[in-house]
Each structure stands twice: as structure tokens, then as C-alpha cells.
């Protein structure tokens, strides 16, 4: 069977994460929420430790803790706390507590580097089903709320006038973000999830005429980064998760250069 090849499974896993992260990454860029994604991703290592401690699915543990972190940040952000300070404290504290919690696990063999930087080559068929199932949920959620999310992002006052509650849309984004973190942890790891959210969307931004085009372009760039990174890691024998992000960064640099030349000529 085709899925018996670990490289095919890895490629499909990378594409699944790219599809899930692309539209959400656009909202992260538009709302300047890069640190928000970072804090949610860093908290997920605590979810891994709790899941292994209580012998439940790592996906469920990561999703629960990521959702709790994202909800906490959303709740506290409007209560007099400086957002960058709040996110810095929560992100690094959650990562530190997660790493300490992992060290207390007795009798459980855990590949910490795999969770921190991803282990896409070890993706199995159940992982693949979870990744694509999670990606489908994220895409369905964002497609369902697309117009409301866009209005709340561009103009909260207009959203209120249109009967849209920006706080509710923020919670939809929060749920989608937690899902993406849970889906992506196996592919690029805790420390690189935010990069897969932000870099493809940022690379697509200069060339997109509409928000919808930007989301599609971000998905294409994310997919190319995943497949290109997988190929480069295979050829150069480098860590796969970081190599995927390196390819995305190169594509961003090329896109920025093209945009600069275009502006200079115009």
C-alpha cells in the first residue's frame, strides 16, 4: 500500500499541517498575534507530559492544554496586562513547567527532541488520520466563520454594527489555533509551530489582492515548504522539522526580494 512508505506518510503529514496552518496564519499576521501562537505552542509540551502521565492520547492532552493557554491569554489580554509581557511570561513559563513535568515521568520513554522539533518521519497511519482530521476541522471552522472573522479583524466597530461579537470570533480563532498546535506538534514540534503559522502567510502577503487569495497562497507556500524541506532533509541528512521551516524562510526572503524590486521599478 502507498501509505506503507514512511516518506509518503511524512509528505501527507506535512501537507495536512500546511493546509491547517495557512488560513489561520493569515489571521495571526493580520491581527499581529505572533506571540499568541508562540505561547499556545509552548504550552503544548505540558500537554504532552500530562497525556503521558494519565495514559491518554497525546493529541487530546496537547489540545486541552493549548486551548486552556489560548483561552487564558484571550481572557487576560483585555484586563490591564501588557500583551507582550503577558505572552512572554506565559509562553516561557508553560514551556519550562512542561519540560520539568516531563523529567518527572518514571518508566516512560519519551523522545523530547521529537516533541520540541518534530519527528515527521515517524508519523504513522493513526497520526496521519489525526492530522488530516484536525486539518479538516480547522478548515471547516474557519470557512464557516470566515466573513465574521474577517470583519472582526479589519474593523471591530463595523463588526459590532453588523451584529458580530469580536470576542466570540476571537474564541473561534483560539479554538482553531489550539487544533493547529495539536495537529502540528508531530510534524514540526513545539518550538517551530509558530513559524509554520506565520512564515507562509507573511510570504504570501505582498502578492495577495484579497484575503482569500492570501489564504490559498499561504497554503501553497506551506505545502511547498513541507515537501521541499522533506526532500532537502533527505538529501542533506538534516533534521526534518527545522529544514521545513528553513525552506519556508527562504521562500519568504525570495518573496520579500521580489516585492522590493517590484516597488523599486514601480
Band of the pLDDT at 2, cuts 50, 70, 90?
A: low
Domain regions of the chain by residue span: 2-191
Cα separations in angstroms, 251 against 25, 151, 159, 256: 16, 29, 34, 9
Instruction: Tell me how far apart the alpha carbons of residues 188 and 210 are, in angstroms, rounded to a whole number.
Output: 29
Looking at residue 237, what is its pLDDT?
92
Looking at 155-210, list the stretches that DSSP marks H as alpha helix, in order from N- to C-terminal side: 156-161, 166-184, 193-204
With a cut of 70, say whether residue 79 has pLDDT above it. Answer: no
pLDDT cut 90: percent of the chain above it: 45
Q: How far apart are CA 121 and CA 240, in angstroms?
A: 8
| Cell numbers 487576560: residue | 76
Q: Tell me which CATH code domain 2-191 carries.
A: 1.10.3470.10
Helices in 155-165 by DSSP H: which ranges? 156-161
Amino acid at each position: 500500500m502507498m501509505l506503507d512508505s514512511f516518506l509518503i506518510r511524512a509528505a501527507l503529514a506535512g501537507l495536512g499541517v500546511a493546509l491547517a496552518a495557512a488560513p489561520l496564519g493569515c489571521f495571526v499576521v493580520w491581527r499581529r498575534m505572533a506571540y499568541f501562537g508562540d505561547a499556545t505552542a509552548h504550552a503544548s509540551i505540558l500537554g504532552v507530559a500530562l497525556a503521558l502521565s494519565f495514559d491518554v492520547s497525546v493529541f487530546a492532552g496537547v489540545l486541552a492544554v493549548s486551548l486552556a493557554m489560548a483561552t487564558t491569554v484571550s481572557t487576560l489580554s483585555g484586563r490591564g496586562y501588557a500583551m507582550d509581557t503577558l505572552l512572554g511570561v506565559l509562553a516561557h513559563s508553560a514551556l519550562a513547567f512542561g519540560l520539568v513535568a516531563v523529567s518527572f515521568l518514571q518508566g516512560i520513554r519519551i523522545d523530547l527532541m521529537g516533541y520540541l522539533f518534530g519527528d515527521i518521519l515517524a508519523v504513522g497511519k493513526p497520526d496521519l488520520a489525526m492530522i488530516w482530521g484536525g486539518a479538516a476541522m480547522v478548515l471547516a471552522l474557519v470557512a464557516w466563520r470566515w466573513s465574521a472573522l474577517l470583519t472582526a479583524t479589519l474593523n471591530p466597530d463595523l463588526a459590532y454594527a453588523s451584529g458580530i461579537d469580536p470576542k466570540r470570533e476571537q474564541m473561534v480563532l483560539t479554538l482553531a489555533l489550539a487544533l493547529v498546535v495539536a495537529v502540528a506538534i508531530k510534524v514540526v514540534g513545539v518550538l517551530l509551530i509558530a513559524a509554520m503559522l506565520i512564515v507562509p502567510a507573511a510570504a504570501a502577503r505582498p502578492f495577495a489582492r484579497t484575503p482569500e487569495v492570501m489564504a490559498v497562497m499561504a497554503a501553497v507556500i506551506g505545502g511547498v515548504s513541507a515537501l521541499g524541506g522533506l526532500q532537502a532533509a533527505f538529501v542533506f541528512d538534516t533534521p526534518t522539522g527545522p529544514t521545513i521551516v528553513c525552506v519556508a524562510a527562504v521562500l519568504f526572503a525570495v518573496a520579500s526580494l521580489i516585492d522590493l524590486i517590484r516597488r523599486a521599478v514601480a
